[in-house]
Chains A and B, each alone.
Chain A
Amino acid sequence: MSRALTLRRWRWREPSILPGFAPALGFTLFYVGLIVLIPLCALVARPWEHGIGGFWATITEDRVLAALRLSFTAALAAAVVNVAMGLIVAWALVRFEFPGRRLLDAAVDLPFALPTAVAGIALATLYAPNGWVGALFAPFGIKIAYTPLGVFIALVAVGLPFIVRTVQPVLQDLDAEVEEAARLLGAPAWRRFVEIIFPAILPALITGFSLAFARAVGEYGSVIFIAGNLPMKSEIAPLLIVVKLEQYNYAGAASVGLAMLILSFAVLAAINLTQRVIARRGAA
């Protein structure tokens, strides 16, 4: 009787014949605690030095609000553009055999590996009024570098691989027979895309969107060179953290950092919710 009870007792881990649980757990928890958890506690705890009023006063400063607005709108806009262009790139890579396809496929990964400072100075030089691309727009009075438009361009360059690499495998695994059946039944190409392909890749598109957005909101190195960093105009939120740290305003810097985290988690949660609603509608 009591033996049966012991067996059914709640266990915090399943027994395993494999060795190494204790050292692996110990080391992993120690490492994560030291490198991720304790530093994160500091970020959550530091903004309140001057009470909740201090936190609120910091994040409602005009300059901070302008920076948060720029970071979030530019990141969302860049993610939208990347969804469209990333889908086209993934589509071309999966569906067609053409010269240079492998090179194109390999090139997509580059923003993952290229240091942000390198991308940053390259983009700033290209899109400056006398740069290769900037010079094409300068005669029309369009300035790209040192404006919010420059921030947007840099975020587009950073986010592209996130969409391509999430959509590509899903496109690859689509069932060819459904499409063929639709074609044989006389559905035109646009209808096959809208009614068969698009619903199937929509969750991947949304995942790619949120990955690209999350990366873009916090992006620093590839943006600051092209942004010009004019207060109230082209300053991104991460830069304001740096500015506040330079003034030894730790609470202020932590406040901006925490606000960025909370806002981006809110946006990601909203995207996640949308995805679930869509999934449920798809299943119904």
Chain B
Amino acid sequence: MRTVVASRPRGLFAWLAITLATAWVALVILLPLASVFIEAFRKGVGAYLDAFRDPDAIAAIQLTLTVAAISVPLNALFGVAAAWLVTRFEFVGKTLLLTLIDLPFSLSPVISGLVWVLLFGASGWFGPLLDSLGIAVIFNVTGIVLATILVTLPFVARELIPLMQAQGAEEEIAAVTLGAGGLQTFFHVTLPNIAWALLSGVLLCNARAMGEFGAVSVVSGHIRGQTDTLPLHIEVLYNDYNFVAAFAVASLLAGLALVTLGAKAALEWRLGREGAGAGRG
């Protein structure tokens, strides 16, 4: 079988399709992105930088980094364990497990926050117990971390599973047959094979963890300078009609998104050259 190769556009319809596609992506995706940076610099570089001198903004940056630093490694560890389990062993209930791993993708972010309030909120199942122990989860960093972990749980696993499935277990079986231990096999055979896909999954997971809004907004309680992450800080500034500062902070997250996509494209190019294509996120 031969596939269609992209050719130089000929005829009215070809150019019409290209124009329409370009105009649509420009309108729906590029224009909003450009407007973030234009609005951020509307009153000059000084006003832009002022947005980051605000102590609340600095606190939001610190909180966002903290939350990502806890939730991303945990989900990376989970992704590797789950991918190892699902692609290297056959067991009953695997399909159900895969469904559960994918489930956070189809949950509304607000529901991903709500469930933690139902468990740990003031009148949640474990609320009174936690209260008597003096532990706060909701309106606290712990709740934000839990909500973020739930939302970003599938990212690394979803990146690794198709790749490890495609690679098969032959190399690991060979290593074990030759007498390598479990950890030795993992670090010397498996990890080098999945390193780039793992990195790609971690990048996507991190971008989502730092940018998550809905789930975090439900559990955070919006205590300024304490439980506001960067996306929540954007909301506060925007609702205060402080548009330049809101867009300045937004431009930071937009920059993170651009860097993430750039790095992911570079990784995919590398993966493609190594001849093992990982599934797209």
Contacts and interface: CB of A to CB of B under 8 A. Distances in A.
A238 B268 CA distance: 35
B212 interface: yes
B98 to A, nearest CB: 10
Interface string A4-35: 00000000111011111101110111011001
A174 interface: yes
Contacts of A91: 17, 21
The 6 closest A-B pairs by CB, nearest first: A218-B108, A115-B211, A39-B115, A220-B214, A19-B182, A221-B213
B68 to A, nearest CB: 12
B231 A220 contact: no
Interface string B59-89: 0000000000000000001100110110011
Contacts of B31: 126, 132-133
B35 interface: yes
Given A28-B78, A36-B153, A114-B253, 6 more contacts: A16-B89, A96-B17, A115-B210, A118-B257, A165-B280, A189-B13
Contacts of B172: 18
B178 to A, nearest CB: 11
A116 B214 contact: yes
B4 A95 contact: yes
Given A174-B3, A250-B118, A118 B234 contact: yes
Contacts of A225: 235, 238
Contact of B149 (A14, A35, A179, A268): A35
A187 interface: no
A108 interface: yes
B146 interface: yes
Contact of B24 (A23, A24, A88): A88
Interface string A118-149: 11111101100000110000000000000000
Contact of B114 (A17, A38, A253): A253
Interface of B: 1-9, 13-14, 17-18, 20-22, 24-25, 27-33, 35-36, 39, 77-78, 81-82, 84-85, 88-92, 97, 100-101, 103-104, 106-111, 114-119, 121-125, 146, 149-150, 153, 169, 172-173, 176-177, 181-182, 185-186, 204, 207-208, 210-214, 217-218, 231-232, 234-235, 238, 243, 246-247, 250, 253-254, 257-258, 260-261, 264-265, 280-281
Contacts of A268: 106
Contacts of B81: 23-24, 27-28, 31
B238 A173 contact: no
A194 to B, nearest CB: 14
A36 B28 contact: no
Interface stretch (A40-48, A53-61, A273-281): A40-48
B117 A250 contact: yes
Contact of A122 (B36, B111, B114, B182): B36
Contacts of B30: 107
A13 B81 CA distance: 17
B115 A42 contact: yes
Contact of B111 (A19, A38, A101, A260): A260
Contact of A43 (B84, B111, B204): B111
A157 B235 contact: no
Contact of B182 (A20, A219, A254): A20
A182 interface: no
Given A21-B85, A217-B108, A175 B114 contact: no
Interface of A: 12-14, 16-21, 23-25, 27-29, 31-32, 35-40, 42-43, 46, 85, 88-89, 91-98, 100-101, 104, 106-123, 125-126, 132-133, 156-157, 160, 165, 171-177, 179, 189, 214, 217-221, 225, 238-239, 241-242, 245, 248, 250, 253-254, 257, 260-261, 264, 268
A113 B260 contact: yes
Interface centre among B92, B104, B107 (most CB of A within 10 A): B107
B33 A110 contact: yes
A132 B4 contact: no
A254 B114 contact: yes
B35 A132 contact: yes
B1 A118 contact: no
A176 B2 contact: yes
Contacts of B204: 112-113
A248 B123 contact: yes
Given A17-B173, A36-B153, A111-B29, A88 B20 contact: yes
A179 B254 contact: no
A242 B214 CA distance: 9
Nearest to B108: A218
